[in-house]
Copies of this chain bind each other. A is one copy, B any other.
Amino acid sequence: MLNRHTTSEHAAGRRPTMRDIAREVGVSQSLVSIVFRDAPGASDETRQKVLETADRLGYVRNESARSLRSTRSTSIGVAFQTRQPFHGELLDGLYAATADLPNRLVLSAVSDFRDEAAAIRSLVSYRCGALVLLGPRLSEDEILRLSSGIPVVSVARRCSSPNVDWVVSDDFQGMSLALDHLTSLGHRRIVYLSAPISPGGRERQHAFEDAAESHRLDTEVTIRTSGMTEQDGAEAATALLGEGALPSAVIAFNDRCALGLLDVLVRHGIRVPDELSVIGFDDSEIASRTPISMTSVRQDPTSLAQFAVERALQRLAATGPANTPRGTILPTSLTVRSTTGPAPR
């Protein structure tokens, strides 16, 4: 219906093009393009007239045509996971970091029904100039093969290839904060729930081990294999409960794992933090969205996103040979809430 009521002279059902606007205003199509690219070469008066007419005709620039004709792509492709609340926060950060560069981001989701390879291929098919991958799980070789020459920035996962930039939080410093907090409360028997097959899982476990060593806790801490989901945390809790003697504190790979753990503990009448302290990792919004709000190592999604965009834009702008790739490690902080307290006697 609507498009039959436009005031322009173009045929019903056809979207207006730059040519339509040019005809209406009485200028060339190139000039309309100049106005929309915000390029030099049009008077303020013309510029305004073009924009007004475009608005009146309901014109929206055809992104496919722009992208196809442009010599250099300036869009940043983002692959994120639908089931990671933290990725939602990172997306927010990416939009904040590109607020003055509208429509720079092209999104591609990873879900149970769409694997990471498909997500990356889609971004390549849109000819993004750089890729930002949130918590990628594929091997670096796979990532490099799929991105086929497009610069890649990995967020929340360290990479070893010289062809991939990465931005991560400082796990060692985060674990040190967590252990500072726990030891100051008198905890010594501490369990870490590791997620060895998750992206960044091994690195975080090593960070815990290093932090435990520097806190002279080597012989008192235990590492147990768990995972990145509530289910993994719940299973770990069941296992711990089955063994009789609980540790005095647990640090989980992430908030989701910690929540699953807390769920089972509370169901079994364990008082948190009186009998057991729990620390999560991420400080995603879910950490505070729980009846027993959780102490967590905070990763700052805004900063992670900002650095990722910065790196991607650098790669987009780079003309000559690629400049030296580099990793960025950002500090974490500890958000103390109500799942940590003095160690039981």
A residues with CB within 8 A of B: 1-3, 13, 15, 58, 60-65, 67-68, 82-85, 88-89, 91-92, 95-96, 99, 102-103, 105, 107-109, 111-114, 118, 121-122, 124-127, 144-145, 148-149, 163, 230, 256, 259-260, 262-263, 265-267, 272, 285-286, 288-293, 322, 338
Contacts and interface: CB of A to CB of B under 8 A. Distances in A.
A33 to B, nearest CB: 15
B64 A126 contact: yes
18 contacts: A1-B149, A13-B149, A60-B121, A60-B124, A60-B125, A61-B125, A62-B125, A62-B127, A64-B65, A64-B68, A83-B88, A85-B85, A95-B113, A96-B112, A103-B122, A259-B289, A263-B290, A286-B286
A230 B285 CA distance: 10
The residue among A61, A105, A259, A291 with the most chain B CB atoms within 10 A of its own CB is A291
A291 B289 contact: no
Nearest to A339: B291
B60 A68 contact: no
A118 to B, nearest CB: 7
The residue among A58, A60, A105, A112 with the most chain B CB atoms within 10 A of its own CB is A60
Given A15-B148, A62-B127, A99-B113, 5 more contacts: A88-B88, A96-B112, A103-B118, A260-B289, A265-B291
A288 B290 CA distance: 11
A163 B1 CA distance: 8
B125 A113 contact: no
Nearest to A65: B68
Contact of A113 (B1, B92, B262): B92
Nearest to A161: B1
A256 B61 CA distance: 38
Given A62-B125, A91-B82, A103-B122, A148 B288 contact: no
A158 B263 CA distance: 35
Contacts of A260: 289
B64 A91 contact: no
B288 A262 contact: no
A2 B149 contact: yes
A183 to B, nearest CB: 25
A141 to B, nearest CB: 11
A95 B111 contact: yes
Contact of A3 (B65, B118, B148): B148
A118 B92 contact: no
Contacts of A105: 109
A185 to B, nearest CB: 20
Contacts of A15: 127, 148-149
A145 B63 contact: no
Q: What 5 A-B pairs are tightest by C-beta distance, nearest first?
A: A3-B149, A64-B67, A63-B125, A95-B113, A107-B107
A61 to B, nearest CB: 6
Contacts of A67: 64
A125 B62 CA distance: 5
A67 B118 CA distance: 18
Contacts of A96: 111-113
A255 to B, nearest CB: 9
